[in-house]
Structure 1
Amino acid sequence: MSFTQSLVILLALIAASSFFSMAEIALAASRRVRLRQMADDGDPRADTVLHVQEQPGYYFTAVQIGQNAVAILGGIVGEGSLTPYIADALYWIDNPVVLRHLSAALSFIAIISAFILLSDLLPKRIGMSQPEKFAVRLIRPMQACVALLKPIVWFYSRITDLVLRVSGMPAQRDDRVTPDDILSLAEAGAQSGLLARNEQRVIENVFELDSITVASAMSTRDRIAWFNIDDSDTIIRARITEQPYSTYPVVQDDLDHVIGYVDAKDLFQRALKNEPINLRDPALLHKVLVVPAQVTLAEVLDQFRQVHEDFAVVVNEYSMVVGVVTLNDVMSTVMGDLVAMDEEEMIVRRDDNSWLIDGITPIGDVERALGIDTLPDEDSYETLAGFLMVMLRRIPKRTDTVTVGNFTFEVMDVDSYRIDQVMVTRKTPAVE
């Protein structure tokens, strides 16, 4: 066999091995979501690939049979064909034994290198770049190979299935998409520039709703505008002018006895029509949803959906009202920086290593802002003020400080035992 003939046969074997390598990696790396989209767009080959992914045993068996057969043939053809020509090139070596062994070794290295580079590494790199595209292009030729090798494929597939059953290993891949998968894709999209960082943060916030308590989104007790059931028309009109909100709780005597709520639009309609406003009117007073402070935002959304409301009163374990939450509050938590907030921010970053934080800020928000995993005795408090009280074992005073790890918390302002502002300073700058 001439050198040209040997070279043509080797190139043909390398091309066949490249085909099997690319077919293997393309099927394994193809994403079902993308394939489903291609199938919906009218490509029947994508639907075929999806079916093969569900039962890939015969497919991969045919790939391995083809790759191994080609590799064996390549070794036989290459070593027998290239060794004489390499020996001729090494004519200056006088020792025939050394020449024979060295020629065989160089022939072996050349064949192995060609197969590794051209039939394994290169096709797999190409197949990984666009797996769905190559999977649909190669599925029909691979089905022909499976049909051609069906008896052998059936035999080895049955042996493989038996081994998997005996060992207890799964025979099918798990294509379930988990929240971690989605978050990883969002992070990859943000790093590549295809997804804005704010959009990535929105996706993360959606998956955090089941871990963030309602305290992180609610308006706290001292910021609630409410009416007493016996308030006069004059008082009601004055309050909605001074404190314009969309919803107002209605109480009996004090805030801890909420009996319902009124919608601002109903009040405005009566005010514009110069009609008297009486909170005992059943047409104005609505039944209020009450939720415990320990529930998550995901649970609050579920309760909003069940009762068809978008407003709830939040109470603690002693049935004391600690705040109110609206659907807009939850959505603002999800949207983050994409929406503009008219209210003063509870956490203001002064520079890279210091923050000015309101004392009633939920401790979870403080931890996220500072990049802290947990704080000491975290189950004993819900707000930054509660954290300082637990650490100091008394009511904090102005200039009191608490140091935890790399952070120092200094009380800046106290108003009637209420901690208004806390300065948090990072002692050692964070390493980027």
Structure 2
Amino acid sequence: MSATELGLLLGLAIALLFVSGFFSGSEVALFGLRRVDREQLTNSGRAVDAAVLSLLAQPKRLVVSVLIGNEAVNMAIAAIAAYLWVPAWPAAEPWGIAALAVLASAATVILFGEVVPKTLAIQQPISWARQAARPMALFALVIAPARWVIHGLAELIARPLGGATRPRAADLSEEEFRTLVDAGSAQGQVDARERRLIHKVFEFGDKNVGQVMTPRDKVFALSYDLPMARLVKEVAARGFSRVPIYQRTLDNVRGVLNAKDLVRATAGQSPARTLAELLSEPLYVPRTTPVARLFTIMKQKKVHVALVVSEYGKLLGLVTMDDLLRLLFGEIHDERDNLQQAARRGRGGRTPVPGSLSAVDASAGVAKLEAADVEAPAMAESAAEAPAEPADDAASADGTDATKAAATAPVEEAR
């Protein structure tokens, strides 16, 4: 073999190695484009981007073209390697030369025709796809007859094996969805509040109970042994609508007390006569519980408070439905917040309360709490759940006027 022939064959092998890398990198770049990348190409208006999208619009055509080109080039490299090795060992067996040629060419192709170009393509998929679009489209056109034959044979073989089923639509990842939302917000298609809410929904799913709970040392709870009048005072003073009730230690919670039930019981409006009858079964969760899972459980069980415990039953903290909603919506303000601002004691011994408050709750509840010399924070809870006639003034059961105003103390979940 002359030096010229040897040089030409080596040059051809190196050129084919670059072509192999082109096909490998193009495959990764084109099929690795995310949906947000395709959206960017669609909105750019550039001709080269339209060429990229045209290739991606026919994925089967593209993948068959890439495979034909890549495999043909790799086989050509192996053949050249075998031809170059023959003069080096004239006495060697042909199969031995072929084996050595395949091993050497395979190692070279894997490194320089697969790993290196695919690594570069992954790092810059859009740039690589733009560079490859027109050459790949031309190659696909040139080999169209061969592609039709190979594609037809592949479909014929795949159909009995279930390969002709309808392709599944690609899922949109969290990162892609967030990027689309940000792009929509920048273009004015997504409101800023909607954008914040969508991002908070994803953040909501990433948190667990231990990250949002009120820690044990800040939990407001009352002893089961306190008399009813003292319970009324304590609940009214702190303004929580639901309070854990424990016996001897916080690790032994008997149940959760609803302030509204306490008011009705002390006013004689409830058949319950003892504290035990007023308590609801506590919901216990480990600190590793995902926040989204807890939200679902609390909705299903219709509870507003969950106690966070360790594997040994030790109370670690407390989570309320309000805590979970704040993660999504921030500080929540409702009609009860307005009630807190306007409560006042009128002349002639009248106590103004909201017109939406039931007359029975207004007269009996306020009277009972006044007897205990405390304000009525839980009345706002009643206002939200027991609407009365939508009039500015309402008459109570004993004739006392109930004018449209509001209660004073804040109503929150237990902390």
Q: Shorter-chain TM-score: which interval? A: 0.3 to 0.5
**Structure 1 length normalisation: TM-score?**
0.45
Name whichever structure is richer in helix by fraction: 2
**Structure 2 length normalisation: TM-score?**
0.46
Name whichever structure is richer in strand by fraction: 1
Higher relative contact order, structure no. (Cα contacts within 8 Å, ≥ 6 residues apart): 2
> Which protein shows a greater Rg?
2
